[in-house]
Structure 1
Amino acid sequence: MFNEVFQDPAIDNIRFELVKIEEIRDEDFYPGYRVTVHYNLEGLTDNIKFDLTTGDSIIPEVQSYKHQSILLDKTIKFLAYPIEQVLSEKLHTIIERNVLTTRMRDFYDIYTLIKMQENVINFVSLKNSFENTMQRRKAVIQPNDYQKVIEVLSVDENVKKLWHLYQSNYSYAEDIAYKDTIQTIRYLMDRIQKVK
């Protein structure tokens, strides 16, 4: 399917190439496939990864978004997970994995989404989505447990080292302190717990 789409590029000076498709087995939290695509835009090249999954219940429902293309004079409409669903899955993964987490991208994403999009988050929907994620993954987290996990994460040297490694590999994260990601996680979990 991807190769078929890439045969007819929407823009003459951009090319896409399917690099690989691999099964996602992140402890069955995200069963599905990860598709890696290489693009070349007039010498600017990089890879993009898409995660494709099915069977997830999405709360709130999938939302319609609009994005103004920077290359074409048109608006692109697409369906995507609501921000509450994205945050709930990332929060749950961090809390559930505790100090065994290796997914520093989740820390970055949570921090960045809150900094850029907090004004659009519906915290009632976030709580519902978080509770749904716990039920679907069969891993209920009690308020006292998440508070303890966040405290442990805040001082764990191995997770801090992983964060510093992530920062050295991804310049967009280099100015974000680990403690600030932890404070953001704590803030979100506290907001979820305060929703009646």
Structure 2
Amino acid sequence: MKYRNTDNWKNEMKKAAKLNGADVPSMQQRFILEEFAQKIGSSVYGDRLILKGGFIVSTLLGMDTRTTRDLDVTCRTTIYGISEMEKIVKKVLDTPTESFFEYELADIRPAQKDDENAGFIVSINARKENISLNLKIDVSNNTLIYPDAIRTTLPSMFNEEDIKLLSYPLENIIAEKYETTLDRGEFNSRMRDLYDIYFLMKDSSNLVDENLLADTIIKVSEERGTLDNLYEFEEILEELQESSTFRTAFKRHGEKFGFEDITLNDVFETFREIQDFVERELNIDECVSMKV
């Protein structure tokens, strides 16, 4: 869609927000996320920068269920310093696309993680006349993608032109969230991950390959050194269900985003369905029988 000016754009964002059950700021943010994702996919780094996380989940589930303000990207090869990251970002920014906004690099800083090559947080400003918006890109370095990145065509919410890029497989997205939930325990602050897993597994339009999901969870857990959690699944879930801290955080997140009807038991039943796939791959029942 072509916009005559910023007032016309604002009016169209209001219409889109109403149509999609979202608030106007979230819809405006979605617009610049789409424009920048299009730049990534069209750039010379389109085969190295792979999208994952909330942007993909929001596209699959719809903005009435899931919104996001940032882009999560992993790079196939390790980016060793800020200067190299800056070079990549500027190449993406210079990629010609039919963008309504003009984009400029605001800041790059190392991600606050234990690994010195964990990645970067990139801040981008989007400007048009009297409008200034900001988006952040969480860039991780050379993380496991199993079995491989996929070429994805995402429908745009604003234009007839689709967004073409590389992304994580759906099973990889679920696997990372599953592993994180089991590993962080009762002090996990990522309640959104639980709801994402629940909705992605329950939405019949998202066809999840059960065997691939199980394999990916095992691969991710091995990569992160948390494979034991898969053998201690019921103990971990029991601890979470008994934790008032965890239950309160889950309830607050649900109330904030309108998911009051979804209980922790509902979510954990979905986790148990996934764990059945995992245990089948690991032959956990046979291992337990042999120990007995």
Residue 130 (structure 1) shift: 1.2
Conserved in 2, the CA contact under 8 Å of 1:14 and 1:39? yes
> How many Å apart are 1:62 and its aligned residue?
0.6
Which residues in structure 2 correspond to 1:93-108 (within 5 Å)?
Answer: 93-108=180-195
Report the residue type matching 1:34 in the other structure. I
In the superposition, the TM-score normalised over structure 1's length comes to 0.78
Q: Which has the higher strand share?
A: 1
Aligned alpha-carbon RMSD (Å): 3.3
**Offset at residue 164 of structure 1 (A):** 2.8
After TM superposition, the structure 1 stretch with the greater mean CA deviation from structure 2, 131-140 or 116-125, is 116-125
2:288 corresponding residue in structure 1: none
Give the equivalent residue in structure 1 for 2:26. none
Instruction: Call closer, same or farther: CA 1:175–1:85 in 2, change over 3 Å.
Output: same
Q: Residue 277 of structure 2 aligns with which residue?
A: 191
- Paired with 1:31 and 1:117, the residues of 2 have a C-alpha distance of 35
Identity %: 24
Cα distance change of structure 1 residues 36 and 191 upon mapping to structure 2, 3 Å threshold: farther
Deviation at 1:42, TM superposition (A): 9.9
Q: Deviations over 1:115-151 (max 9, x none)?
A: 2257521111112111111211112225551111112
Matches within 5 A, 1:101-180: 101-116=188-203, 119-141=206-228, 143-169=230-256, 171=257, 173-180=259-266
Question: In the alignment, which of 267, 280, 284 is matched to residue 181 of structure 1?
Answer: 267
TM-score by length of 2: 0.55
Distance 1:142 1:8, change over 3 A: closer
Q: Which of 155, 162, 169 lines up with 1:82 in the alignment?
A: 169
Distance in 1, matches of 2:211 and 2:221, equals: 16
Amino acid at match of 1:86: I
Aligned positions, number: 194
Query: Which structure 1 residue ranges, 5 or more long, are not aligned?
Result: none
Structure 1 residues 12 and 49: alpha-carbon distance in aligned structure 2, compared to 1, 3 A threshold: closer
